[in-house]
Structure formats: C-alpha cells, structure tokens
Amino acid sequence: MKFKSESSVTRSFVCVSSLLGVSSVLAQNPTPALTNTPPTRLPDVVVGGRADDLTGIAASATQGTVGVDHLQARPLLRPGELLETIPGVIITQHSGAGKANQYFLRGFNLDHGTDFATSLNGMPVNLPTHAHGQGYTDLNWIIPELVTRIDYRKGPYAAADGDFASAGAADLTYARPLLTGFWQLEGGSFGYARGVFAASPKLGNGTLLYGVELMHEDGPWERADNFRKGNGVLRYSTGDDALGWSVMGFAYHGEWNATDQIALRAITGNNTVPGGFQVGRFGTLDPTTGGNSQRYGTIAEWHRSGDDSTSRLMAYAYYYDLDLFSNFTYFLNDPTDTTPDQFEQADQRVTAGFKASHDWNLSLLGRELENSAGLQFRNDLIHNGLYTTSARIRTGTTRVDDVWQTSVSPYYENKTQWAEKLRTVVGARADLYRFEVASLDPRNSGTVTDFIASPKGSVILGPWAKTEFYLNAGMGFHSNDGRGATTTVDPASGAAVSKVNPLVRTYGAEVGTRTTWVPGLQSTLSAWWLDIDSELLFVGDAGTTEASRPSRRYGLEFANYYTPTKWLTFDADVSLSQARFRDPDPAGQYVPGSIETVVAAGVAVHDLNGFFGGLRLRYFGPRALVEDNTIRSTASALVNLQVGYEFNPKWKLTVDVFNLLDRKASDISYYYESRLRGETINPDPALNGGYNDIHLHPAEPVSLRVAVTGRF
C-alpha cells in the first residue's frame, strides 16, 4: 500500500533538514557569504527510497533517511526489523517474541537498546533503569504499515541527541494522512495470523488517523510462543508545515510464552546427564518462561515556521508495564534439581516529558547562520522488582525498588557556511540527572545527582563532482541504571559492592564521504572510532552492578543504494568493526558479543506491470564470546524473499518467505556457565557447580506468510 504523508511523500527540504538537524538555508544557498538575500522556502522533494543523497544537507556521511518505498520493499519477520533498513544494524531475538529485540551496531552488542537511541515521532522509546536491561527498547507496539520514514544518525555528533545515542539514533515517523484507508489480513507458518485496519478521514479542519492491529504467532518452538498482541493508534492533526498541531494516543498489550536460549550440550548430548540428549533444536529447558507487557500513552505536538525561524514543542506521557519470567542457567542454583533457576523481572512506570526547540536564521558579517536551541525534560516514576520463581509462582524476593529518575537537558547548535565549499556544525548539550532510589534494603537506597557536558562539532567540505567530505567529533554518554548508583550490598549474598557512576562518558570521531557522482547511485564511506570510559552496567538478571573496563571501538562502513530505473533498486552495505578493552588484563582484550562484520544486500522491484517484490541477504558475522577470543560464535547468512501482485488500485497480494534457504543458523549466541537437570555437579568452585558452554537461540526455519490488502 502507498501512503500520502507530509512526512514521507511531499515534504519541503526545510522540514527534512530540520528533522535531520541540518540547515535548510545553507543547503539551498551554498554561497551565503556573497549575498544578503533573505532565505526562501525550498521546493518539495520526495523521500521514497533511502535518501543517502543528502549532499549539501547532511552533517555526516552516516546520516540518512529511509522512506516509505524502501520500508515497504522489505519482508519483516518482526517489527523491530524496521531498524535493519539502517546500514550496519542487526536485529535478533534470544527469547519469546514479545520481548524486546537484541540490537547490534558499530562493534556493540547493544543488548536491548543501550547506546542506540530510538524514538517515535520524537518520543524516546528507550527505558532507563529498566528491570531487564538499561535502555530497554521494545518495538512490538509499532505498527509497521504506519511508519512512513526513519531518520537516523550514527555517532555522538548531534547536539539534539543525548542519552543512549553514542552508537546512533533513529526516529520513526507515523503517517499523518494516508493516501487511502486499508485493511490487511495475513496468515502463515507456525500459527501466524495478523490483521491491520487503518484510515485517515477528514474531520473538521484536520485529519483523524486511526489504526488497529491484532496478531497471533506460535513460532517453530516445541512449546508454542502463543504470542498475542493488540495495538491501537488514534491521531488527530491539523494545519501544515507553517503552523499545525497533532495529538496521538496509543495502546498496546501483549502476552507470550518464551523459549530462552539453550545450552549447546543439551542439543548435542555432550553432557554428563545419563542418556545425554535433553532437548531438540527448537525445544526448551524450562517450559514455563514467558511474559506480558502493556503500554498506553499520548504524544502532543505543535509547530510554527516563518521565513527565518521555526519553533516546535512536543510533550508525551505513558504508562508501561512488563512482567518477564526467564531462566538462562536452568538448575545451576539448585543441586537437588527440584527448583529451576527461573526468575521474574517486573517493571512498572509512568513516564512524562517534553522537547522544545527553536531554530532561527541570521546574517553575520555577510554570512548566513542557522541557530538551534532546545530543552529536553524527562521524568520516570519506576517500580522495579526481581524475584525467584518456579513455574511463574514467586518463591522469593531478591530486591524491590522505587526509583524517581529525572533529567533536564538544554542544548545549542550553530551551522555556518563559511565559503562555497566549507560549512561547519558546532554545538553542545548539558545533561543534569537526579536518581532517587527507595530500596527494600535501606542500604541500597539513596539520592544521587550527576551532570555531564558534551561538546560536538563537524566540518563539511564540498561538494566537488557531487561529492562531499565530512569530519565529525563529539562527546556523548549513556546513563547507567539508577539502582547501580546507590547499591552498596549484593541483594542476594549481602556482600559489599561498589557504586557506579550514573553517567558514563563516550568519545567519538568519524571521517567520511558521500557521493552521487554516478547517476542513480548513492554511496557513503566512513571510518569511525568510539571510546567508552567504562562499560558500567547494572545486571538486572542478578540485581547487582558490574563495573566493566574502558573500551575502544572502530570500523569502516560502506553503504550503496542504486536506482537504475524507477521500478528497480539495489542496495549493498558492508560494516566492519572491532571492539577491544583498552586496559591490559590476563583475561583478554576482546569485548564479548561485539559485532564484527555485517553485510546486507538486496534487490527490489517496485512496480513492474503490477508485480513487486524483493530478495534480501543478511550476513551476521562471527563474534568473540569471551575476552581471549578462544570461543567464537558461528556466522549466519539468511535470505528472505517477497513476491507480490497489485491487481488494481484496491487489491494486492503479497507472499513473504523467511530464511528461504532454510539455514540452521543461530539468532544469537552467548558463553557462560549453566547446569542441566540431572547433570553431575562440577567440582570447580569457579563455575558454581555448572559447566561453561555456548548458549544459543536458533533462527527460525523457512516459513511462509501470505497477505491480502484492500484499499478503500
């Protein structure tokens, strides 16, 4: 289906550049030093594919926009795979389908979202001080058909990007009006069934967008996921780019069973259990894990643009709830094999915040300058709990905390065209955080404040022959779990632990180029570097803090998007990364789980006498699983296929095939100790009675989905 949206189909460069954080005035007039002509509104442009062609607009080689045509040309196994349209990003899963995905980018295993900031219509999605993982980013409540563009930036170079944005940031935008209303029914392998209905009729002086999604999926697992979710969106918008406002409400509820990662020795039989084998490839070692989650909230937005200034105000509030039951070590903690190591993580919160920004243009010494100033505020009222459980019934309490976390973040950015082939972007932001923790154990309670300032700058040279060069540098940060900043004793053992710094500094730099010299081909090449002072984190699975070592990541990214004809596109992206600890240690220098190689390539047919479709390859390279690199994961190469036919403007049929070659790959792999039921207790005290092993979550086998879409 096709959408008509001021944010995806016809939008002025003024709005495009504002979203991307670059100067529209400087883009349309590359020689402002030679004239005092007042700025003018630029012509409308189409963002349908992948807009790497941002010469004269973007501030770095790794900044871009993915439009609606490119988003719709990809079969999606899960909603989070929308982010795989960003070069170098990998999305996986290690548990039930309702849980947040695992994210990988730029030498990071980002866990469930740390160091990659994601937002919807400007509202931050990452959840700090989360029961399961810092920066937890669940995208199951996103309706993919309503997303009309993704704006992304990599590296800590933009003043508007704060917490979690060191590796990168992405903002997903929902449509305002749709070209037509539509309904879509899907069915497929492993109990998959889904229905979507959306429309955007005129109402008064504005447009009312509403959408509903219902889905069920079992997956290939021996114990069915039975993932059931419902999504709803209601948005009213009025006005245009010059003056307008909108209010959107959203609601989501999901429930699922989970097949967590399983020990390799349980599949191969290479264990000390009588009889050896314990489980099949798609089996489970604890059939009672799973969870449920819900999210209800609203986003309100107002904007006003004049000839030389733009103001925006966005406010949001939502309620979030997660109850998650997991078991990663099986019977490591119970030598009697009567109670598995299952635990429950509960997170309930009310989050509210706002973002205000004002952009204005002025002339100084014959040069045109664009200035941006903003203020961001966020407040999370959080109730976290960590419990031991058996078959989802609580058997003990590890820790319970109430956390009040508040941040205030002003920023400023300036863009100046110094000469025809030279422009700069310089800025800074300040972040003030306050953490107030009331723990079940008073020794882990307290109040902590922290402050961090982050300067940033970019130099852009060109264009020459439709080619531009970029030099970027900046400081960023990510917040640590607020409980880690006040915890003094291990809640399970009572042993003393060290508090951690709540805000962790990152340093990044990048050199890159962007070219459209070859007709129809957009290419970017960049070399980047990122340091983290300490990969400090709070381990939600254990309820304690863990201070890791300072690290360094660096790599190369090469991205290409080719449109030889209006109905055919090719894309090919290669990302190479290294992640190493910076301090010497006998354990080794590799950062476990860090991504090293990503290759993503595809071909898409958009409309060839009614036919459309695409073929995609995703290569996820091997990774070190331990610090000395003696244990490594296997690589995976998955191919997905989409074929469809549009009978007429009202009817469309789509067939998606996932893992077309039926590769027996692992979605993700870890290396740690665990113990199977009936397994001999290991006498090595360092392993707590268990055995070190690779623990994997298999990629889903070949599967088929068929969708019928009707428009009205």
Q: Which tens digits make up the pLDDT trace of 510-568? A: 999 999 999 999 999 999 999 999 876 545 566 555 668 899 999 999 999 999 999 99
pLDDT in tens, 91-123: 999 999 999 999 999 999 999 999 999 999 999
Is residue 512 in a domain? yes
CATH code of the domain in which 267 resides? 2.40.170.20
Q: Which amino acid, 4?
A: K
Rounded-to-integer distance, Cα 169 and Cα 176, Å: 22
CA 668 to chain centre: 17
Rounded-to-integer distance, Cα 317 and Cα 302, Å: 15
DSSP 266: H
Residue located via tokens 């740690």: 672
> Please, which pLDDT band fits residue 492 given cuts at 50, 70 and 90?
confident
> Please, which pLDDT band fits residue 40 given cuts at 50, 70 and 90?
very low
Q: CA dist 437 to 189, 397, 632, Å?
A: 46, 17, 39
Question: Helix, strand, or coil here: 669?
Answer: strand
pLDDT in tens, 289-312: 999 999 999 999 999 999 899 999
Is residue 1 in a domain? no
Q: What pLDDT is attached to residue 52? A: 53
Rounded-to-integer distance, Cα 63 and Cα 21, Å: 10
Rounded-to-integer distance, Cα 308 and Cα 403, Å: 43
Contacts with 512 (C-beta within 8 Å, 6 or more apart), sequence order: 60, 61, 62, 469, 470, 472, 524, 525, 526, 527, 528, 557
Q: What pLDDT is attached to residue 637? A: 97
Q: What pLDDT is attached to residue 136? A: 96
Smallest Cα–Cα separation from 351: which of 313, 303, 407, 292?
407
Contacts with 96 (C-beta within 8 Å, 6 or more apart), sequence order: 225, 227, 256, 257, 258, 259, 289, 290, 291
Is residue 702 in a domain? yes
Tokens for 58? 């973007």
Q: What pLDDT is attached to residue 365? A: 82
Is residue 638 in a domain? yes
Rounded-to-integer distance, Cα 314 and Cα 644, Å: 39
Query: Do 50 and 71 form a contact (C-beta atoms < 8 A)?
Result: no
Is residue 3 in a domain? no
Tokens for 393? 């019934």
Beta strand segments in 78-135, E: 90-92, 102-105, 108-109, 116-120, 123-124
Is residue 593 in a domain? yes
Rounded-to-integer distance, Cα 348 and Cα 131, Å: 9
Q: Which amino acid, 349?
A: R
Is residue 639 in a domain? yes
Look at 312 and 607; give whichever has higher pLDDT. Answer: 312
Dmax (CA) of the chain: 85
Rounded-to-integer distance, Cα 712 and Cα 197, Å: 11
> Please, which pLDDT band fits residue 493 given cuts at 50, 70 and 90?
confident
Rounded-to-integer distance, Cα 116 and Cα 83, Å: 11
Number of H helices, E strands in the chain: 4, 39
pLDDT in tens, 372-400: 999 999 999 999 999 999 999 999 999 99
Is residue 4 in a domain? no
Would you give the end-to-end CA distance of the chain in angstroms?
11
Q: What pLDDT is attached to residue 544? A: 55
Residue 305: give the domain boundaries. 11-711
Query: Do 481 and 501 form a contact (C-beta atoms < 8 A)?
Result: no
Once rounded to an integer, what is the mean pLDDT over residues 592-601?
96
Rounded to the nearest integer, the mean pLDDT of the chain is 91
pLDDT in tens, 220-249: 999 999 999 999 999 999 999 899 999 999
Query: Do 266 and 276 form a contact (C-beta atoms < 8 A)?
Result: no
Q: What's the 3-state SS for 317-351?
A: EEEEEEEEEECCCECCCCCCCCCCCCEEEEEEEEE
Q: What pLDDT is attached to residue 28? A: 38
Residue 401 has pLDDT above 80, yes or no: yes
When divided into structural domains, the chain yields a total of: 1
* Residue 224: burial class (beta carbons within 10 Å; 0-12, 13-18, 19+): middle
Q: pTM for this one?
A: 0.91
